[in-house]
Chains A and B, each alone.
Chain A
């Protein structure tokens, strides 16, 4: 129940238009409306387009695999490609990314193999990629907790005088969590080289943003912490890239954190087990489908003469190839050794775990007697 049943949500009434560099129709906005940001070069935009198309193909493929029951779950980022890809494109190699469950396409774009991304969703292990190679933290499930990790890592980098910046992705709902507030505040007080990118996809599972907060925008909150905030059209990859890059530069210069809100929309269900017809209208989804971030950029690039049929065909081919790789990695049998369950809990072996491991090993060997002896030994 909303405790404020009478009034119209402030978020809807008062929010200013978000910052954009390319509008809905694929036209560059006038320079005096671009908030001081410069439209990225056409080559840069073409690169972002390519990554968005490939990311979407991956996302659609994985959603299909989930519907076939071959993955335990998959939170789709369909429609959020501009935010996800801009975030990764703005990172330098030494930077760290702190993603959530929603941000698998960000991992893909930073170079994580499909099979390593899917390790967690198909249930092999809780997480399955090389964090240090990619400089990506494990995808966080407890909401907003990873924002504090990003602030801590960024602060450590600052103490070591490295020029590493941490970027963390958050959902709109997650900004209600205490950890988000604490992260914003710690970052500002410590002047941590960190960028908070909130993907406002307008829902936290079923709950719309006006039930999360009573202020106009999430970006407005930045002023309360003493850092700059930007309210950006999250379906305009040009604007997202320009703003995130500027925030990364600012952090790298030692000028502290930035809070960026990308206004976008979650086209798919929250996860495969969600039923969005219970809480939103098909017409709303259709409206946001018509604001597709990839189509918008496509119009611009075609008008610029940068996206020829040949280029488009090669991008689509690369996307299909990735989809095939993604399907293929599902046919490989992942070897998960039950005895590994005991391996990584502590740095040094514990007697109690060794006993339990011996029990499971005997049980697996089908050796009821040995398993009973292991139990008996451990109970002696």
Chain B
């Protein structure tokens, strides 16, 4: 096979959601990737490489999980399109590794029965053998392999067990397409499909020799726009289906039943179960966690604990980061930090000011929130990995139903608490196009981690420190999160009644077994996300901070007083131009500059203010930003950061769309500028109106 060995063998990795595909993919290729715990986390195509036993290059594609080739959401259609060779830019895989959960064979073999009909060599990775052992199941691997007609390799991807055997199987030259289970198609249907394949391939709708059921798989999705099938081809396909339905009524439903019958018979043969079926730990936990009263109690407790910890545990490391960068108290000693060191070694001048007031002040304003963001990501990872996240979807289903969505839309919204970008991408798991669009529209209302720095800066300013215990701050934070969430519900309801009509599909989800979290995986995921955050601080935010510093420092004013300097600088002038817009909500021109910067990324607000006040104060003053804000006065002597202003500003941040990355992803996912613009208008408009309202009412009342 000298010629073949030049080109890599392309393997597709497929399976139901949560069967361990990504874990296996990472173990085989060493590529890092997100490991999630509810159906449909893997939304992007992931490609990796490894080498066969004989040194031949093998390309692996990790695909989103799906229960069936009958794709029902954009996410599921990825697997179908890749396997059928219809995904643009991806070659049809030479072979398929089908990952199944050994503890749950009946469900997982359904997809296998479809895959082995595709006419490519298949290897079954019998993953999670440890769970099967835990359930006291005994599996006859040889018999399974014999009956399916494909190699079956037991693995435990989480501890890299069985990988060598899997690689050996993948390296075999002699794999042929399986003959598979006995023919499940009724004879007239098979004949009809063979005939229509001929016609369809002549018209270029499917390729020659395509899998017999391909026309039906292509028709299964509700939403035709994603799948690159022309209307013409679609009506051809529809004609085939109708013809067959006339000839053999009900055959499609019976095919599903026939598959399950075949699987049932197969499992009888290869799986030995323990005699007594007891209620498992998961069932007993579900009885509590899904309960009408206890379930909600548990949910609210979990959320409160998370938010309290975000403030409480993060306090100390935040102090360290601040001390190391800008100076302050570190383990009982006063340190000058990086800024102090630079002051010591560099002569006074523009360059030193650039480094201290531009770069360090800007980056420090954002970086101090790293601990809080890490804690948030840690808990999101924990919820996903333990299996609780899928339960949350059900807890929320009734609530979501009130606003015309189903519980599946809650998962993307929940991811959006970390970041709206993966949240919007996660909407690909949603079946109904209407639900999906509405979810995309409202997901960014979930308070993402970029808002957290701003919240953390502003919340302590609401009341004097003496009146604000940590739990009080946590409560306010929880309130802001609740406000975003309620806002998302409200707008979902509104959109559902006005802009977008259509049917939603009711919720059905496999509920994973509760399990102890894989801490290593969560840590890796945290590290990845933290690195993204730090990189942003090091690039975008550093850049913007330096730009702002320059805009504040030039043109040089003649009399040299720092505050006069800032007022007359480029930024100061721009701020003054914009000031009329922010005055109704109680801000001054400095706030205007901050908000302009925050338009690209919310957390920039902090660094903008940090830079403004650092430049204004000059080099000697090292008061922390928050104390400076507290002392800030309007020209008439009223404090700028008063209760109504801070509250209004917080609410503005809850609602306004201030994130370029989100706008970009929404444009990509909705295929045009219309929806991102609508989204921008309604979110920012709401935020602004509410902020003005709060400030105006607040100042009148106090």
Real binding pair: no
Q: Which residues of B contact A (CB under 8 A)?
A: none
B-binding residues in A (CB < 8 A): none
